[in-house]
Structure 1
Amino acid sequence: MCTVTFIPKNNLDFILTSNRDEDPRRASGAPDFYSRHGVTGLYPKDLRSGGTWIGVSERSRLVCVLNGAFEKHERKAEYRKSRGLIALDLLFAEHLDATLKDYDLHDIEPFTAILVDWNILLRCVELVWDGNERYITDLPMESKIWSSSPLYTPKMKSERQEWFDDFKANSKLDAKSVLEFHKTAGAETEDYGVIMDRGFVKTTSITQLEKKGSDVFMHFESLQQDVITEQRLQLS
């Protein structure tokens, strides 16, 4: 839920990759297919909340959630609802814009959601909830990196942006090279490399979603169990 890159390929296709930085004791299941109201989705499940941090559905939509908003926040002991469950609500919602505007975020921990929708043309929307206000932004179709505010200082984010800019300038932007970036960038800085390890929190998995035509391919690597899962969601 803490490092995400988005690479648009054309008016309909893209690559989105997410490194999940989490308490290594927090278990998650490999990606699988789930249905809600007759709509199929594909996502790994957080076994504590039953939600997810990344997924794709037959709504022609991808949702990816990062912890935190613009700045590091003070956590409360409890919140009304898990952000992973909100991710599922957004993933399966019939009307995206109305849901983004009207969804009840009262007593929800701050988060950043990246939503990629391709019902007409490729669209990338960022929803940021800072605990008081929601900020909804349609992003330009440009490659972008996000780093979670609770874990990464502005200086760390800036250095990570430099790694990403260098990668874009010197690499072919395909699924293989992006996955390699998510495994190796900043490897000499263990506490804030793209794969990070601070003991109590570390990168536990990498998930990559690549949309190609009417298919979305999911590549999931559990770094805890050293297992790779490959799935495909076929869209009409």
Structure 2
Amino acid sequence: MCTVSYIPTADGFFLTSNRDEKKTRSNAIHPTVYNNGEFKIIYPKDPDGKGTWIAINTKGIAAVLLNGAFVKYKSKSYYLKSRGLVLMEVINTHSPKDELATMILDGIEPFTLIICSKQSLIEFRWDGVLRHIKNLDPKKAGIWSSATLYDEHAVLKRTEWFKRWQLQKPSPLEDEVMDFHHFAGEACFEGLIINREKVKTVSVTCLALKEEKISITYNDLQNETIYAITEVLY
């Protein structure tokens, strides 16, 4: 849950995530459509935490999780609930912002959530003590990197890569967005796809809202498999 980009389009958006995880963590379950009774939700599932790091629902709301808030911190041995379950609670509501404003977060590890729809773009950070909520311009693209893996220098470099790429691709297609998330960067240590001693990029996921439809494209880098699902908004 470590590199995320948001790109607005003429009729929707792309929300894309590179998931960087410990090599000892179980492989995720590929994306599936789940029905909560009021609307459907599409997401891959984390078999360890039982939640997810990225999801989109048929109300046109998408959310993605990054580890950490602003700075690197020392992780505790125990937390009350997985951050992936927080995302699940948020994506199961009609108003994620209201849910986050009242949700009890004490005992949950610091995280950042990016939540978007056609009309809004929200950056929510929980630093372990306080909530920090920003309403961003949904007409402006953005990129975020996990505070637990990337220092300020790495974050700035990624922002520069993104800006240069945007100049070359002002109206990108989904394949071009996925290409950026696969190939941007300078080396395996600093690129968007990483392979370090204990951590590596295990998947790239692109959520899209376009033409009154939602879709997910999930590239499982561990199994070298791509999954794609499309659903109609309602």
Q: TM-score range by the shorter chain?
A: over 0.9
- Measured after TM superposition, the shift of residue 190 of structure 1 is 1.4
Query: Is 1:152–1:192's contact at 8 Å kept on the other side of the alignment?
Result: no
In structure 1, stretches of 5+ residues that fail to align are none
In structure 2, stretches of 5+ residues that fail to align are none
One-letter amino acid of the counterpart of residue 220, structure 2 = S
Query: Is 1:59–1:92's contact at 8 Å kept on the other side of the alignment?
Result: no
Bigger mean CA offset, 219-228 vs 189-198? 189-198
One-letter amino acid of the counterpart of residue 152, structure 2 = P
One-letter amino acid of the counterpart of residue 145, structure 1 = I
- What is the aligned length? 231
Q: How does 1:112-123 map to 2 (within 5 A)?
A: 112-118=112-118, 122-123=119-120
- Which residue does the alignment assign to 1:125? 122
Q: How does 1:1-236 map to 2 (within 5 A)?
A: 1-10=1-10, 12-26=11-25, 27-118=27-118, 122-140=119-137, 141-171=139-169, 172-186=171-185, 188-236=186-234
Cα RMSD of the aligned pairs, angstroms, is 1.3
User: Secondary structure, in 3 states, of the residue corresponding to 1:160?
Assistant: helix
- Measured after TM superposition, the shift of residue 189 of structure 1 is 2.0
Query: Is 1:18–1:207's contact at 8 Å kept on the other side of the alignment?
Result: yes
- Measured after TM superposition, the shift of residue 234 of structure 1 is 1.3
Query: Is 1:59–1:91's contact at 8 Å kept on the other side of the alignment?
Result: no
| CA distance in 2: counterparts of 1:95 and 1:3, whole angstroms | 25
| CA distance in 1: counterparts of 2:120 and 2:94, whole angstroms | 16
TM-score between both structures, scaled by the size of structure 1: 0.94
- Measured after TM superposition, the shift of residue 59 of structure 1 is 3.3
TM-score between both structures, scaled by the size of structure 2: 0.95
| CA distance in 2: counterparts of 1:195 and 1:204, whole angstroms | 9
Bigger mean CA offset, 124-133 vs 58-67? 58-67
User: Secondary structure, in 3 states, of the residue corresponding to 1:189?
Assistant: coil
User: Secondary structure, in 3 states, of the residue corresponding to 1:112?
Assistant: strand
